[in-house]
């Protein structure tokens, strides 16, 4: 299932850091001559494509060089995955590497992923930050919820959609038992939105909630439905809803009907 945490702030893609990852707190300062570069530093979260094409120079000659994928946070970097390659007689490295770590399991709350490299003498190349985007698709954490859950602002129906342009306006249209609600929010820095939707007024009854999410610039339209079961609950007043941004962990993959595009 998608792990969710309610937050009263902008929607971001978050997750749990990889358990048991190694700390980089004792890594020495960058050496003046060591450096690395990547043929491409942009990837979709969860898809390394053809891998990381790493080149570097300034390392010990004919020596082991450790290339690492790290999660850089305010509390310090953490190694998610690493590989050892050998420099040539000029201290250069050339490596094509597909990390085994799933980038979807990293912690993206405030930090970023980067590639670093170091040799046995402590020559550390400056990090190369990666630009990551949320995969295209739309998910919900449950195909069916109860009327009691829909009427609970702390539960509701949770939806996450990705594949949009970071910062673009994304409009969500929600149709439920003859009523239509609409909300517009900017996509987060990964090109995704995530929210919990609940009713705070009117009648909550069994039926279907249809969510359609459309990007203003990308024109990407994606839809998903959630069934509602249970006894009717009268909240009183006119039909009214609430959208609460959430943090989502997509590490478990899609739960219901992913990638339904319109």
**What digits encode the pLDDT tens for the residues 2-44?**
333 333 223 333 332 322 333 333 334 444 589 999 999 999 8
Q: What is the pLDDT of residue 172?
A: 97
Across 120-220, the runs of DSSP E, i.e. the strands, are 124-129, 131-133, 137-140, 144-146, 157-162, 169-176, 179-186, 192-204, 207-215
Q: What is the mean pLDDT of residues 92-113?
A: 82
**What digits encode the pLDDT tens for the residues 134-163?**
899 999 989 999 999 999 999 999 999 999
User: Whole-angstrom Cα distance, residue 87 to residue 93?
Assistant: 5
User: Whole-angstrom Cα distance, residue 256 to residue 1?
Assistant: 9
**65: part of which helix (H) or strand (E)?**
strand 64-73
49 class by beta-carbon count within 10 Å (0-12 exposed, 13-18 middle, 19+ buried): exposed
> Measured in whole angstroms, how far is the alpha carbon of residue 79 from the centre of its chain?
18
Check whether 165 has a pLDDT greater than 90.
Answer: yes
Domains along the sequence of the chain with CATH:
15-133 (2.60.40.230), 134-252 (2.60.40.1930)
């Amino acid at each position: 299932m998608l792990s969710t945490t309610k937050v009263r702030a902008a929607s971001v893609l978050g997750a749990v850091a990889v358990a048991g990852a190694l700390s980089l707190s004792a890594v020495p300062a960058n050496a003046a001559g060591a450096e690395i570069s990547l043929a491409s530093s942009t990837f979709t979260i969860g898809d390394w494509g053809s891998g990381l094409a790493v080149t570097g120079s300034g390392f010990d000659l004919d020596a082991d060089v450790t290339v690492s994928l790290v999660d850089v946070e305010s509390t310090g970097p953490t190694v998610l995955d690493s590989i050892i390659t050998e420099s040539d007689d000029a201290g250069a490295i050339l490596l094509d590497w597909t990390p085994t770590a799933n980038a979807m399991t990293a912690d993206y709350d405030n930090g970023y992923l980067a590639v670093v490299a170091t040799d046995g003498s402590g020559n550390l190349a400056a990090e190369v930050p990666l630009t990551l985007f949320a995969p295209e698709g739309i998910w919900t954490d449950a195909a069916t919820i109860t009327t009691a859950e829909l009427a609970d602002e702390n539960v509701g129906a949770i939806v996450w959609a990705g594949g949009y342009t970071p910062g673009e306006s994304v409009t969500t249209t929600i149709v439920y038992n003859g009523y239509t609600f609409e909300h517009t929010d900017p996509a987060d820095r990964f090109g995704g939105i995530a929210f919990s939707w609940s009713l705070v007024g009117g009648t909550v009854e069994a039926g279907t909630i249809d969510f359609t999410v459309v990007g203003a610039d990308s024109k990407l339209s994606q839809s998903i439905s959630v069934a509602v079961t249970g006894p009717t609950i009268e909240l009183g007043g006119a039909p009214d809803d609430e959208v609460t941004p959430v943090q989502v962990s997509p590490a478990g993959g899609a739960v219901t009907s992913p990638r339904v595009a319109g």
